[in-house]
Chains A and B, each alone.
Chain A
Amino acid sequence: MNTPLAPTLDVSSTPRTPLSRLVGVEIRKAIDTRAGFWFASSIVGLVLVVLLIYTLAAPDAAKNFGDMLQVAGGVLGYFLPILIIMLVTGEQSQRNGLVTFTLEPQRSRVVAAKFLAGIALAATVMVLAFLIALVFTAVAAATGATPEWSVEGSLLFNGFVLANLIGIFVGFAIAMLLMNTPAGIVAYFVYSLILPIAAGILSALSSGFEKIAPWIEFNTAQTPLFTGDYQPSGEEWAQLVVTGTLWLVVPLVLGTLRLLRIEFK
């Protein structure tokens, strides 16, 4: 062919990649490696094992569906965020970003796709955990206990859905800020395990700190969501907003800004 092509690129036949397709790709990337697949499977497996042990060991009076859900939610709370962290930091740790952001240079769309993919994966795992909790409540009923099947709506939403969503948001923010898989996972466990313990110890030692802890430590501020009547008071809501801004909104904004600017090598 000797006729020189027009110097302008004809892009009329290639519409922008739809966000739904990007989300599909990100879900695929989260579970198409051995690490990703087995991690996602292990979360479900772990819920299964922990609930099995709980069903065998717990007193009959504590085998209500609500109890089962809380145990399952606890397991998910520790591990779902790690799935998200791996999904985000893989772009840097595995140097995948070079290709990802060449095929979709609008980075904010990739961030949105990853976020939606994380939510979709989390929702799937939650539904599975919900079903597993149902099964073990049935097992408890069949083995002599008389479990309460009904579950309070606010427990289901706060303790199971909202708690896990917050965890996923925090994991997402940490991942974008650190862009390194091991560092992200360690940072998440420091946040979710060590910080509340430290806050608890300091609160026990000093009544002054006990008063300010819910204003500066996110996990402490979340406690009213999962205990008592699951209805935070006005002050408790204010504490949630303050700590949520500090531990969730600010890292999320900074992390997103970093991901949009970082030079993927």
Chain B
Amino acid sequence: MITVDRLTKTYGAFTAVDDVSFVCQPGRVTGFLGPNGAGKTTTMRVMVGLTLPTRGEVTIGGLRYHDIPNPGRHVGTLLDASAQHVGRTGREILAIAAQTMGLPKTRVDEMLALVGLNDDEAGRRLRNYSLGMKQRLGIAHALLGDPSVLILDEPANGLDPAGIRWMRGLLKGYADRGGTVLLSSHLLHEVEQVADEMILIGRGRIVARGDRESLLAGANGTPVTLVTSLDNTALGAALTHAGHAVEPVGPGLRVQASPEQVGRTALGAGVVLTDLRSGGAGLEDLFLELTSADAREAVAGLAAPTTGGLPA
């Protein structure tokens, strides 16, 4: 598990990470969310000893990264898939890491197969890799030492939708086997389906944390539901009458109520529902609001309702 304890990193007058504390538990995927420049990468760099903290510390399984012997065997890291010599082939990049960690050569082929890079692709030099291929190679690199902790910075960046789904399954399975996974992203939808817990960071400070439900509940006492029916006008009127805020969105309605409340209202009004969903838009709004330019004010005002956001 990863323990970040009151971590602060300043560069001159600029505070990249400001008093951040959190814990990533084994067996869970922790999503680290925030806009670009929020301090995610800096926090992850401190975790693996590439950046020295100004204050506070990070331990992995109770040890500072510097004190872990042969750390690649315990902590798999992907900070920047492009940070490799562009003149090396994918296979050679993995082979060097395997040699450093004292792993058998067969491990390289296993990992190439796992991330779906074929022999031809593995033999190409990195400068001829697409971003998605680099990302797959980087994930193979992180998994090479069969670590119990994974630290991945924007791993979905550059992956196609199939690749993102593949990575989700991979990380989920990894956590289910007891591994600790921390993955960062600036895109909510990349993370929310795989993360058991999310940490939202903006301007170097944690602005919210929790699982999907508790984040929504904490942000907004009223959940948001997306509903489409055969008679949206009648349903809208019934919902307004029941005291829920309603606005038209696309082919349906966006209601500040739980799906159950909307369903019951529809039942009472005798309207046939064709689609009823818990509003992902609520989380998206929350994310944008919490991590927007004045994120620090938003922390204190967590209870502020998230109205008027754009539909997802």
Q: Which residues of A contact B (CB under 8 A)?
A: 1-5, 7-11, 14-17, 21-22, 24-25, 28-29, 32-36, 90, 94-96, 98-99, 101-106, 263-264
Contact = CB atoms under 8 A, between A and B. Distances in A.
Majority secondary structure of chain A interface residues (helix, strand, loop or mixed): loop
A21 B73 CA distance: 15
Query: Chain B at the A interface: mostly helix, strand, loop or mixed?
Result: loop
A4 B63 contact: no
Contact of B71 (A7, A35, A95, A103): A103
Contact of B148 (A9, A98, A263): A9
B69 A103 contact: no
Contact of B102 (A3, A17, A102): A17
Contact of B83 (A5, A28, A99): A99
Contacts, number: 115
A192 to B, nearest CB: 26
A174 to B, nearest CB: 20
A197 B20 CA distance: 57
Contact of A102 (B1, B26, B71, B148): B71
Given A11-B68, A94-B85, A99-B83, A17 B26 contact: no
List 3 tightest A-B contacts by C-beta distance, closest first.
Answer: A9-B61, A33-B87, A95-B83
B139 interface: no
Interface stretch (B44-52, B212-220, B227-235, B256-264): B44-52
Contacts of B177: 1
28 contacts: A1-B177, A2-B27, A3-B178, A4-B26, A4-B27, A5-B27, A7-B1, A7-B26, A9-B68, A9-B74, A9-B148, A16-B70, A22-B100, A25-B99, A29-B96, A32-B88, A90-B85, A94-B85, A94-B86, A95-B82, A95-B84, A98-B79, A99-B97, A102-B49, A102-B50, A103-B101, A105-B66, A105-B71
Given A1-B177, A11-B63, A98-B50, A28 B73 contact: no
Contacts of A90: 85
B123 to A, nearest CB: 13
A95 B148 CA distance: 26
A106 B71 CA distance: 11
A103 B26 CA distance: 22
